Amino acid sequence: MKPKMQPLKQLDETLRALADSDHCVFATSDLAGAVPRCGQLAVLLSRATKAGVLHRICKGIYFFPVREYSSGNLLYHAAARLRAGEFNYLSMESVLSETGVISQMPMNWITLMSSGRSHVIDCGDYGYIEFIHTRQRPEKIAGELTFDTERHLWRASVRQAWRDMKAARRSTELIDKEVLHELV
């Protein structure tokens, strides 16, 4: 009979076998499947974090470090896992700053529209994820969205990001109107 493997070692071995550069950010529920007979998952995840097997991004979201992972997308991947059951898309300042419509790039802060509630998630040293509630239906704005495969999220067009900024009554002081009109 094979000896029972310690849960921390089982978790580490399972993640080493399965994680890759596209799949290395996990929700607690994902990790529960790696150690199905573990009765104290929260304790195990705490031990895994202290041992360096996992890095806690925010409540319920963990990163398993893989060599070839580009950490520049970590907040985006965490956002995708946090609200996997909701309609979410990158918008407002995140999209407008990347396209040059806003002159200043928000550092370690991403903004998403979400069918879930509005909330800012503090991800410690990694930054912040801001979800802004929207009632818009996916089928109504589908033509304004593209899927960003690198970030694992839908992304608004400049036109939609501008509409979202106005609808959310965000400050438009940093908007470069000339660049905006060129892109819309």
The tokens describing 156, both together, are 């608004």
Report which of 170, 93, 169 is spatially closest to residue 127, judged by C-alpha positions. Answer: 93
Three-class SS state of 155? strand
pLDDT at 133 over 60: yes
Q: How confident is the model at residue 54 (pLDDT cuts 50, 70, 90)?
A: very high
**Integer angstrom CA distances of residue 141 from 63, 131, 134, 182:** 32, 18, 12, 21
The domain made up of 7-69 is a member of CATH 1.20.80.30: no
Locate the domains of the chain by residue range.
7-69, 72-183
**Integer angstrom CA distances of residue 16 from 4, 54, 66, 148:** 19, 11, 8, 26
pLDDT at 168 over 70: yes
**43-57, 97-111, 122-136, 157-171: lowest mean pLDDT where?**
97-111
